[in-house]
C-alpha cells in the first residue's frame, strides 16, 4: 500500500497533467446543472463520451428540467434517446425523474443511498452523481478508474470488471481526502481513456510512470481478458440486443405502430418460420417487460 507521501506525489502529478490535458465535455462545464450531470451519467453508462457529448444537448433541449422529463410519455423519451443505444435507460431515467418529483420536490437527492434506489442507478452512477453534482467524498470506481488504480498498485495488467474494490477504495479515499473529489476522479478517468488504455498503456508519456508498479510492463498479451464474458443470446449471428434496438428504431419511424409481420419483413426475417416467430415474440416480451412497448389490437406500439 502507498504511504501518505506517495499519495500526495501521485495526486499532484496526476492533477498537474489533468489541468493541462483535460477534455472538455458539457457535463464538466462549471455551469452544468445537476440535472444535466445526472442525465449525462446515465448516458455514459453504455455510450462513449464523444457520442454522449454530441447527443446530450438535444435531449436536454427536449426535456430541460426534471419536471419536464417526469411529464414525458414513454414514446417521447425513447424518440429523444435516438442514437444512444440501450433504449431502456431512457424509460428508467424518466421513471427516476418521476420519483425525484414525487419524493424530493424535483430536487435530485445528494444522498448516495437515496440515489442508488432510483431506477437505472447502480452503485457507480449513484456515487458519480453524489460526487460530481454535490462534491460528496465517496468512492467512485468505473472501468477506467479500476484499470488505472489496479495497475498503479499491482502488477496485474488484466482488465477486470470487479475485484480489488476494497484496496482501491482505500487508495481512492486517501487521494480525495484533501482535494476536490470530482476533479480527481475525472483525472483518473481521462488518464484511463487516453494513456493507460485497456490493451495499450503509453507509460512513456504517463504522469504516473515514476509511481506505478506496472510502468513499462503492460503488453498486448498480458492484458488479455481472463474473466469469462457473459454470453449473450444471438439470432442469425447478431446479439439479441441488436434486434431489440432494430425493433425500437422501426417503432421510432412508425408512430402508428406496426404489425408483427410488418416488423419481421422490415427486419428481413422470415415471417413463415415458426422458430423465427417464437424468437421474435421473446424480443417483444423483453421490450414489454422493460416498459418500452405494448402489443395492442395486433400492432406493436411504444408503451403509454
Q: Does 172 bind ligand SF4 (CB under 6 A)?
A: no
From candidates 118, 126, 130, 201, binder to ligand SF4 by CB under 6 A: 201
The reply on whether position 187 binds ligand SF4 by CB under 6 A is no
Active site residues: 41
Task: State the Cα–Cα distance between residues 108 and 119, nearest whole angstrom.
Answer: 13
Site for ligand SF4 in 210-239 (CB under 6 A): 212, 214-215, 218
Beta carbon nearer to ligand SF4, 152 or 258:
152
User: 66: closest CA among 39, 29, 26?
Assistant: 39
263 binds ligand SF4 (CB under 6 A): no
DSSP labels for 6-53? HHHHHHHHHHHHHHHHPPP-GGGSTT--HHHHHHHHHHHTTS-HHHHH
Please identify, using beta-carbon distances, which residue of 69 and 141 lies nearer to ligand SF4.
141
Name the segment binding ligand SF4 (CB under 6 A); options: 121-129, 200-208, 252-260, 272-280: 200-208
CA atoms 249, 254, 255, 256: torsion sign:
negative
* The pairing of beta strand 234-235 with beta strand 238-239: antiparallel
* Sign of the CA dihedral with 198 first, then 203, 209, and 214 last: positive
Q: Does 208 bind ligand SF4 (CB under 6 A)?
A: yes
Counts of helices then strands in the chain (DSSP H, E): 14, 5
- If DSSP codes are grouped into helix, strand and coil, which group holds residue 234? strand
Distance CA 123, CA 127 (A): 6
**Given 14, 79, 130, 148, the residue binding ligand SF4 (CB under 6 A):** 148
Selected binder of ligand SF4 within 91, 128, 152, 251 (CB under 6 A): 152
Give min distance, CB of 250 to ligand SF4, in A. Answer: 43
Q: How far apart are CA 92 and CA 120, in angstroms?
A: 5
Q: Which stretch binds ligand SF4 (CB under 6 A): 44-52, 85-93, 148-156, 244-252?
A: 148-156
Among residues 194 and 262, whose Cβ is nearest to ligand SF4? 194
User: Is residue 198 involved in binding ligand SF4 (CB under 6 A)?
Assistant: no
Q: Is 151 in the site for ligand SF4 (CB under 6 A)?
A: yes
Q: Which is nearer to ligand SF4, 189 or 212 (CB)?
A: 212
* Cα–Cα distance for residue pair 178/137, rounded to 1 Å: 10
| Binding footprint of ligand SF4, residue count (CB under 6 A) | 15
Does residue 52 touch ligand SF4 according to CB under 6 A? Answer: no
- Who's near 221: CB < 8 A, 6+ residues apart? none
> Minimum CB separation from ligand SF4 for residue 285, in Å?
44
Contact between 153 and ligand SF4 per CB under 6 A: no
Tally of CB atoms within 10 A around 259: 14
Binding site for ligand SF4 (CB under 6 A): 148, 151-152, 195-196, 201-203, 206, 208-209, 212, 214-215, 218
Amino acid at each position: 500500500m502507498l504511504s501518505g507521501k506517495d499519495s500526495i506525489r501521485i495526486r499532484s502529478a496526476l492533477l498537474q497533467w489533468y489541468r493541462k490535458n483535460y477534455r472538455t465535455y458539457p457535463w464538466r462545464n462549471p455551469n452544468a446543472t445537476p440535472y444535466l450531470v445526472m442525465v449525462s451519467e446515465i448516458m455514459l453508462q453504455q455510450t462513449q463520451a464523444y457520442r454522449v457529448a454530441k447527443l446530450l444537448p438535444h435531449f436536454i433541449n427536449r426535456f430541460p428540467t426534471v419536471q419536464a422529463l417526469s411529464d414525458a410519455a414513454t414514446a417521447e423519451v425513447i424518440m429523444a434517446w435516438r442514437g444512444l443505444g440501450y433504449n431502456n435507460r431512457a424509460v428508467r431515467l424518466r421513471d427516476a425523474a418521476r420519483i425525484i418529483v414525487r419524493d424530493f420536490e424535483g430536487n435530485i437527492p445528494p444522498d448516495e443511498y437515496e440515489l442508488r434506489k432510483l431506477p437505472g442507478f447502480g452503485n457507480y452512477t449513484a456515487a458519480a452523481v453524489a460526487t460530481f453534482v454535490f462534491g460528496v467524498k465517496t468512492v467512485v470506481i468505473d472501468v477506467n478508474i479500476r484499470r488505472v488504480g489496479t495497475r498503479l498498485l499491482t502488477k496485474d495488467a488484466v482488465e477486470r470488471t470487479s475485484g480489488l474494490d476494497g484496496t482501491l477504495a482505500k487508495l481512492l479515499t486517501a487521494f480525495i481526502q484533501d482535494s476536490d473529489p470530482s476533479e480527481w476522479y475525472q483525472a483518473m478517468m481521462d488518464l484511463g481513456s487516453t494513456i493507460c488504455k485497456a490493451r495499450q498503456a503509453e507509460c512513456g508519456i504517463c504522469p504516473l510512470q515514476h509511481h506505478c508498479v506496472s510502468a513499462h510492463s503492460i503488453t498486448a498479451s498480458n492484458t488479455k481478458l481472463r474473466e469469462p464474458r457473459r454470453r449473450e443470446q444471438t439470432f442469425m449471428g447478431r446479439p439479441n440486443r441488436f434486434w431489440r434496438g432494430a425493433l425500437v428504431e422501426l417503432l421510432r419511424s412508425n408512430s402508428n405502430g406496426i404489425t408483427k409481420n410488418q416488423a419481421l419483413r422490415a427486419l428481413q426475417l422470415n415471417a413463415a418460420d415458426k422458430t423465427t416467430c417464437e424468437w421474435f415474440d421473446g424480443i417483444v416480451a423483453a421490450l414489454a417487460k422493460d416498459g418500452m412497448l405494448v402489443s395492442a389490437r395486433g400492432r406493436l406500439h411504444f408503451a403509454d
